[in-house]
Structure 1
Amino acid sequence: MKTKYQITTFLIALTLLFNSLQLKATNTIIEPDSDKDKLIIYILRNILTRSHYVVKDINDDFSEYVYNEFINGLDPNKRYFTQDDLKEFSKYKYKIDDQLLNEDISFYNLVYSRFQSKIKNAKSYYGGLLAQSFNFRKNENIDVDYEKMPFAKNENELIDYWRKQLKLSTLARIQSKTEKQNAALEKDPKTKVKSFKELEKESRLEVLKSMDELYYRIEELENDDWFSTFLNSVVGAFDPHSTYMPANIKERFDQDMSGKLEGIGARLVQKGVFTHVYELVSGGPAWKQGELEPEDIILEVAQGNEEPLDIVGMRLDDAIKFIKGKKGTEVRLTVKKKLDGSTKVISIIRDVVELEETFVKSSIVEKDGKKFGVIDLPKFYISFDDENYRDSAKDMEQEIERLKGEGVTGLIIDLRNNGGGSLKTAIEISGLFIDKGPIVQVKYRDQDPIIKEDVDPKVQWDGSVVLLVNEFSASASEIFAAAMQDYGRAVVMGGNQTYGKGTVQSVLPINQFTKFDEDLGAIKMTIQKFYRINGGTTQIEGVYSDIAMPNKYSYMKFGERDLEGALPWDKVKRANYNQTNSYQNFADVISNSKKRIAENKKFNLINEYAKWLKENQDDTVFSLNYKSFAEEKSNQEKEVEKFDTVFDYTSNLTFTSPTYELPSLKEDPVLADKRVAWHKSLSQDIYISEALNVLSELKMNNTYNAIVKH
C-alpha cells in the first residue's frame, strides 16, 4: 500500500522520536563534524527499533543476517570473494550488532576495502580469459543458481568461476549469431557465411566490450553507493519492504507516478547490481507489447538495431537514461525472465504514457440476452494534494451509475495486476456494494486493531459482482477483494491466491531528524499490518480465489510468501459484521464453474504450460559444450512449440464502450484506437469469458435486494 511520505499525525510516538533524535543527533551523540555514515546509522537504528511494526532485537541473529546480506549483495554471482576472504570477514559475523549500537562501521570498511581491490583484480581476470578461445568441445556444466553456489575456495577456483561465466556469455552469443546466420541463409542462399572461429572471436570481443563498459561504470561508483547496499542489509533485516533510499532514489520516489514511466511505461527499481521491473503502467507501451513483466531483470539495452549496452551494475538513474527516449523510437531490452530464468530480447516502441489509461474504464457486453459491465480498475489512485481531483472511488461510483443507465445486470471488476494504492479509496469502493459496516482492520505495533468502516448506508450497486484477480493483485486490491469475499458479496476468481502484501510502509526523510546540510536520503519503513474483517491478515496468504483458474503463474514462486523475512500470517479478533446473503445459488455456480474449467482443453493446456515453466525455472544447469548447448536449446524450443497457441482464444462476444464515451471516441481517434484494442483483448480473454459464465448464472437473493433498497 502506497502512503504519503510526510510524517503524519497518526503516530504520536514517531513525533516524540523525531524530537528526541533531533536533540541527540545535533547536540549530544553526534558532533557537527562527525562522519555522515555514522550519523545515518544512528538515526536509522533509532527509527527502526522504536517505530518499525516488528519489535526486533539487534542481536547475534540480526548480525548474522546483515553479514550474509551485505556480502551477497556485493557479490551475488560469486565473482570476487573467496573462502579465505570470508574467513577474515567472519570475525565480525556476530559483532555487527554491537558495532551498530555504537555507530561503528569497521565491518563495512573491511569488506568494502577488500571489494575495491577485488574489482581492480577483475579486469585482469576477464581480460586474460577473453584473450584466447574457449574449449567448446570440453564436456562441462555451469549452474547459474548462484545463491546456492559456494564461494570459491581460493583464487584459482575463483578464476575458474570467471572462466565458466564468461564462456557461457560467449556461448550464448555464438548461438544467437548462428541462428541469425541460418535464418539469413534461408532467405538468401548467397549470404556470406562466417565460420565458427569467426563467430567465436566476434562473440568474445563483444563480451569483452560489455565487461569493459560494466567495470568502467562500477569504478565510477562512490562510497555512498556501496554504503547504501550495507544500509539496506541492515534495514532489510526488519522486513523485505523496509529499505533505505539514498538521496537520488528518494527524489525519484517523490515524483508523481507519471514521472516514473520513462518512455516505456514501466517503473524500475534497483536491487544490488540489477535493474528490476517493479510494475507496468496500464495502457503504456510495455503493457501493450505484452512481453515485459514485473520482476523481470533488464540486462542490456539497445537503441534500435545498435549494439546492446550492458546495464548490470549501472546506477538506476543512468540505466533509465538509456531506456527512455523519444516517442516512436525503438528500444530493445535483453531481459532475464522471472518466470523461467530464460534470456529474451524484447522490442518496445517508446510512446508518451497516457495517464488516462491508469483510470477506471468500462465496457458493455451482451450474453444470453443480458447486458453485463466490465470495469477495469488498474490501481486505487487518489490525489493527496488536490481534494477536487479525480480519485478511483469517485470514478467507480460514477462508472457504476452510468452502467446502471445502460441496463447492465451484473459487473465484472478486473483487479488483475492492480498493485494497490490508496487505503481510503479501497474502503470507499468496498462501501459501494454494501449498506455500511467494517471493511478492514489496521494494526500498529503493540496496539489493538483499528476497524475502518464504510459509514455511508447508500448501496451504489446491488446486483451480482465478480472480481477478477491474479498473483499481482496486491495490497488495496486484496483489502477490497477480502471484504467482498467476507461479506459474501462477490465471487472472487483468478489465480490460486493474490500477492499477499498485508503491510503498509511510510517514507521518512532522514534530514527531518537532524540538522545536516547534505541530503541524507530516506527510510521506507513498515508501520502497519492489515487484517480482514474475519480476523485473518492478508499478509502472506492474500485472498484465495473462490474459483481458481490455471495461469502461467500457477506453480511459480511469486508473492509475499516467497520473500525472505516477510512478516508472518496471524489473526486478530473478528470484526462485528453480517454476511449479505446476496445470492440464491452461490455454491452451485462455484461448482459449475470448477467443472467447466476442469473439462476445458484450453485451461488444461494452460495448466500444462504452467508446470513446464516451473520445471524450467528449477533447471539452472547449462552445458558449456557447444554441441550439447545447441541441442539443449533446440530441444527446449521444440518443447515450447506445443505451447505456441496456449493463450490463443477467441469468443463470439462483442464488447462496446458505454454511451457516454461515444462522443469522446469520435473527437479523439487515439482514444478510439485504444478502446478498439481493449475490446479486442477482452473478446480474446478466456478468463473474462469464464467470469461472464459465472456472472450469467448468479441469481440475486430477493431478501438482500429488499434490505439494501429499504
Structure 2
Amino acid sequence: MTAKNTLLIALLLSAPLAGSAWADDATAVAPTGDAVPGSATRDQVTAARHVSTLLSDSRYAYRPKALDDALSADMYDRYLEALDGGKQFFTAEDIARFDAWKLRLDDALKSGELDPAYAIFATYRKRVNERVAFARALLGKDVFDFTGDDRYEYDREDAPWAASSAELDRLWTQSVRNDWLRLRMAGKEADDIRDTLDKRYENLSQGIAELKGEDVFQTFLNSYTNAIDPHTDYLTPRSADNFNLSMSLSLEGIGAVLQKQDDVVAIREIVAGGPAGKSGVLEPGDRIVGVGQGESGAMEDVVGWRIDDVVSKIRGKKGSKVRLDVIPVEMGLDTAPRRVVLVRDRVRLEDQAAKSKVIQIPALEGAPAQRIGVIELPGFYQDFEGRRRNADDYASATRDVARLLTELRGDGVDGVVLDLRNNGGGSLNEAIELTGLFIDRGPVVQVRESGGRVTVNGDEDSGIAWEGPLAVLINRGSASASEIFAGAIQDYGRGLVIGETTFGKGTVQNLFDLDRWPANEEPRFGQVKLTIAQFFRVSGSSTQNRGVVPDIAFPASVDASEFGESTYDNALPWTKIAAVPHVRYGNFQPLLPKLETLHEARIATDREFQWWSEDVAQYRAESEKTSVSLNEAERRAERDRDVAKRKARQEERKALGLDLDPLADVTDDGLSANERDIVVDTEREKLAEDRPDPLLRESAAILADAIRLLGDDKQLSAQVLPTANQPGHWAD
C-alpha cells in the first residue's frame, strides 16, 4: 500500500469553534473503557455519533457530506485499504462476504452498532496469523533456490484480491524468499537468517495481537473522516495528546526517545538537557523492563507491553518521580536490572526545532566571497497551551527563527536561505507571524469558510527582523503553512523561491474537542482534526492541488502523480478568488533569466548536483517497477553496480577535494528498523545529517548570484527592486 502524506502535520487554526449540545443516549454496548477488538464501548459509540453529526453539518465542515449509502461504500473501500492495502491477507471470498456491509456502514455509525468494523477486523487478525504461520513454516523448508526467473510482485495496490488461500501461499512464498535473499546478500548465514525472519514474522503477529479496541475504532472512524476529505481525521484521546505534543515540541517526562525491540522497550536516543541525560546513567540501547511511580509505587513489569503503554507510564507531571528497572545495553536480557530514579521535567525537543548554519560562497572574478545564512525549519510548531498561559519559554517557530536571524545578522551574513524542504506545515498563526519577520505589515493569507465568507489574516506589527536578501527553498514535501509562507514571500516580491513545486495542500484544519459539550474532566471521546476552510494567497490564487511554483526550479524528485494533494481522489479542486492590496517589494522576473543562465552553467560542472540528478532519475525509474527479481546473480550484479558507482563517486570526491559521503559504504543489511542495533542505527542517522547537500548549496549560490547582479547593475536593480528605499531592499 502506498502511504500518502502520512507524516504531514495538519495546518491548524488556533481559534476554537462554537459548540452545541448533543445528547448522550444510552446504548446496549460494552461498558466505558477499552475493550478487546471485538465490540465498541459506550464512549466510542457516542464519539462516532458526534463525529457523524459534525461532518454532515455545514456550520463546521468546509465540505460536509451526507452519511448515506454512497459514503458508506467509500468508507468500506478505505477501511479495507487501511487494513490490507497491499492485498496480502484477505481473499476474494473474504471480500465477497464483507460486501454485505458495504452499504450498511452509514447505518452502523448512526445506530452505534459498529459490529461490522470489528467483524472485518477479526477476520483480518485471523488472516494475519494464518499468513505468519505459513511464513514461519516455510523457514524450515527448502524453498530458497535463487537461480530461476522468479520475481516477487511487491506492489499489489491495483491487483485483484487473491482468488484463494493457495494464491496467497504463492505470494507469501515469494515474499519470504525475497526476505531471505536480502539477508543472504548482506552476508548472513542460513541459521541466522532463519532466526531473524522467524522473529520478524512472530513480531508481525504479536503487533496485531497488541491492537486494542480503540485502535480498531480509530482506523474505522478514519475511513469515514478521510472519505470527507484527505485531511479530516479522528484522534483518540491518546492520539490527540501525542499530536499536541508534536506541535508544542515539548513534553513532561524523562527526555528519552524509546523504541520497541522484540518484547522490550529500549532507549533509542537521550534528549540533551533532560532528566535522563542529566542523570548520566542511561545510554542508547539500554532496555527498560520495569516502571514504578513515585518513591514507593509498585514496580510494573513492562516486558511485552506496547510501546505507547510504556511511554504513558514513564511520562508524568514535572517534579514527580519515576523509577525504572534498566538492563544496560552491553548486558544480556537475563541480567539483573539496575534501578534508576529520575525526576520528571519539561523537555524541549530541540532536534525538531529551527537550526541555522552558514554556507561560504567562494569569490568570483571581480566579486568578493559571500556568506549565506541558512535556517532549516522542519515544522511550523507552536505550544498552544504555553501561548495561552503567556509562558515566557513556549515553543514557537517564529520566535526561534527571529532569534536565529539576530544571530546571523550579528555574524555578518550577506543573505538568508530559509529551508522549508519536507516541512509539512503546522500552525497557521506561525505561518503568518513568520512572514511578518520579512515584511513590514500587510495581509499574508486569505481564509474562506464554508459559507463563503473570506477573512484576510495578516501581520499587524510594524518592523522587520530581516531586511536583506532572502530565498526560500521548497520541495514536494513542503505543505500547508510552508505554502502560505512561500506564497506570501513570492507575492510580495520579498525573496526568491527555489526548488520544486510544493505539495498543494490549501485547506485549513482545526482540532475539535468532542469532550467539550459534556465537559468531561478526563478525555473520553477524542478529537477531530476537521477541515473548516480553504486558504488563498494574497494574489487570490489557491495553493490547493497546484502548490507553489518556484521561481528557479530544480528537477522534480517525486512525480506529482505519486505524491501530493493531486494524488487524492477526493481533494478539493484548485480555484481563485479576488486579490487583496499588498506591497510589492520587488519583481524578480527581469532577473530570473540571468539567474537561470548562471545556475545552468554552475550545475554543468557541479558533480554533486549532477549525481543528485542522476539519482533522482534512477529513483523515478525504479518507482515505476512493481516487482523484483529473485535471481541471486541478477540481484548481486545490480548491487555490485550500485556499490561500484558509489565507490567511484567517493574517489572522485577525494580527487576534487569535495566533502566525502559518510554513508558511501553503507549497503542494504536486509533488516527492518527494529531489528538493527540501536546504537549503530542512531549513529548512521547522525551521519546522514552530514551528507553533501548540493540543493542547499546551489540555493545559496543562486541567492549570492542575485545579490551580486543587483549590486553590480543599477539599472537591473531599479527594475527588480523599485522600492529599494523601503524595508526589504537587497542592494544599496
User: Structure 2 length normalisation: TM-score?
Assistant: 0.70
Q: Distance in 2 between matches of 1:645 and 1:235?
A: 52
**Corresponding residue number in structure 2 for 1:690:** 702
Q: Which residue of 1 aligns with 2:430?
A: 425
Following superposition, the deviation at residue 618 of structure 1 comes to 1.9
2:449 equivalent among 421, 444, 452: 444
* 2:98 is equivalent to residue 89 of structure 1: yes
Letter in 2 for 1:88: R
AA in 1 matched with 2:173:
R
Report the counterpart of residue 37 of structure 2 in structure 1. none
Judging changes above 3 Å, is the alpha-carbon distance between structure 1 residues 543 and 593 closer, same or farther for their aligned structure 2 residues? farther
Match of 1:549 among 548, 554, 568: 554
2:353 matches 1:358: yes
- Give 2:48's aligned residue: 41
Match of 1:614 among 610, 617, 620: 620
Task: Indicate how the Cα distance of structure 1 residues 84 and 376 shifts in structure 2: closer, same or farther if over 3 A, else same.
Answer: same
CA deviation after TM superposition for structure 1 residue 460, in Å? 4.5
Identity %: 26
Q: Match of 1:25, SS?
A: coil
Residue number in structure 1 paired with 2:506: 502
Q: CA deviation at 1:419?
A: 3.4
Determine the structure 1 residue equivalent to 2:135. 126
CA contact (8 A) 1:43 1:513 kept: no
Of residues 230, 245, 257 in structure 1, which corresponds to 2:235? 245
Of Structure 1 and Structure 2, the greater helix share is in: 1
Report the Cα distance in structure 2 between the residues aligned to 1:165 and 1:247, rounded to whole angstroms. 37
Corresponding residue of 1:212: 202
- 2:300 maps to none
Aligned match of 1:168: 178
- Among candidates 147, 159, 170, match of residue 149 of structure 1: 159
Quick one: distance in 2 between partners of 1:90 and 1:380? 43
Q: Which residue of 2 aligns with 1:389?
A: 393
Whether 2:88 is the aligned partner of 1:79: answer yes
Kindly report which structure 2 residues correspond to 1:479-490, keeping only aligned pairs within 5 A, or say none: 479-490=484-495
CA contact (8 A) 1:370 1:408 kept: no
User: How far did 1:211 drift?
Assistant: 1.6
Q: Match of 1:705?
A: 724
**Partner AA of 1:621 in structure 2:** S
Report which stretch shifted further, 163-172 or 552-561. 552-561
Cα drift, residue 303 of structure 1: 5.1
Counterpart-to-counterpart distance in 1, 2:650 and 2:305 = 35
Change (3 A) 1:584 1:267: farther
Is 2:611 aligned against 1:605? yes
Q: Which runs of structure 2 are paired with 1:250-329 in the superposition (5 Å)?
A: 250-255=240-245, 256-259=248-251, 317=308
Q: For the Cα contact (< 8 Å) 2:445–2:456, is it kept in 1?
A: yes
Q: 2:176 corresponds to which letter in structure 1?
A: L
Q: Partner letter of residue 235 of structure 1? A: T
CA distance in 2, matches of 1:682, 1:260: 38
- Quote the offset at 1:108 in angstroms: 1.6
CA shift digits 1:621-643 (9 cap, x unpaired): 12234444444444554566666
The secondary structure found in structure 2 opposite 1:173 is: helix
1:549 Cα deviation after fit: 2.3
Structure 2: runs of 5 or more not aligned: 1-7, 33-40, 261-268, 274-283, 288-303, 316-323, 331-346, 660-685, 712-716
Q: Equivalents in 2 of 1:645, 1:606: separation in Å? A: 16
CA RMSD of aligned residues (A): 4.5
After superposing the two structures, state which structure 1 stretch, 248-257 or 77-86, moved more: 248-257
Partner Cα distance (1:455, 1:93) in 2: 51
The one of 217, 223, 227 equivalent to 2:217 is 227
3-state secondary structure, aligned to 1:493: strand
Residue 66 of structure 1: which of 75, 87, 94 is its match? 75
Q: Distance in 2 between matches of 1:683 and 1:114?
A: 48
- For 1:295-694, what aligned pairs fall within 5 Å after superposition? 317=308, 355=350, 358-359=353-354, 361=356, 363=358, 365=360, 367=363, 368-369=367-368, 372-378=371-377, 379-384=379-384, 385-386=386-387, 387=390, 388-389=392-393, 391-397=396-402, 400=405, 408-494=413-499, 496-514=500-518, 519-550=524-555, 552-553=557-558, 557-581=562-586, 585-596=590-601, 599-602=604-607, 603-638=609-644, 685-694=697-706
Alignment of 1:186-201 (within 5 A): 199-201=189-191
State the alpha-carbon separation in 2 of the partners of residues 428 and 362 from structure 1.
Answer: 22
| Uncovered stretches (5+) of structure 1, i.e. residues with no partner | 179-198, 269-279, 285-301, 306-312, 331-351, 653-673
Asked if the contact 1:283/1:357 (under 8 Å) is kept, the reply is no
8 Å CA contact 2:552–2:592 kept in 1: the answer is no
Helix, strand or coil: the match of 1:704?
Answer: coil
Equivalent position SS for 2:160? coil
TM-score (norm 1): 0.72
Bigger mean CA deviation after superposition, 571-580 or 415-424:
415-424
Residues 663-708 of structure 1 show CA distances to partners (whole Å, capped at 9, x for unaligned) of: xxxxxxxxxxx9xx99997999344333323333234437413345
Alpha carbons of structure 1 residues 596 and 131: separation in structure 2 relative to 1, 3 Å: same
Q: What letter matches 2:417 in structure 1?
A: I
Aligned in 2, Cα 1:98/1:172: closer, same or farther, shift over 3 Å?
same
For residues 568 and 30 of structure 1, what CA distance do their matches in structure 2 show? 41
Q: SS state of the match for residue 685, structure 1?
A: helix
User: Distance between the aligned counterparts of 1:261 and 1:685, measured in 2?
Assistant: 38
Secondary structure at 2:440 match in 1: coil
Paired residues of 2:595 and 2:702 also in contact (CA < 8 A): no
DSSP 3-state at the match of 2:724: helix
Change in Cα spacing, 1:598 to 1:101, as seen in structure 2 (3 Å) is same
Describe the superposition over 1:525-575 as per-residue Cα deviations: whole angstroms up to 9, x where unpaired: 222322111111222222111001247557893333334533332222222
1:647 and 1:695 mapped to 2: Cα distance?
29
In 2, Cα distance between equivalents of 1:127 and 1:679: 39
Give yes or no for contact 2:494–2:728 (8 Å, CA) kept in 1: no
Q: 1:76 to 1:600 in 2, by over 3 A?
A: same
Which region of structure 1 is more displaced relative to structure 2, 537-546 or 693-702?
A: 693-702
| Counterpart residue type for residue 200 of structure 2 | S
Q: For the structure 1 residues 213 and 224, does the alpha-carbon distance in structure 2 shift closer, same or farther, using more than 3 Å as the test?
A: same
**8 Å contact kept, 1:423–1:476:** yes
Contact 1:437 1:577 in 2 (8 A): yes
Equivalent pair of 1:556/1:614 in contact (CA under 8 Å):
no
Question: Which secondary structure state, in structure 2, belongs to the residue aligned with residue 172 of structure 1?
Answer: helix
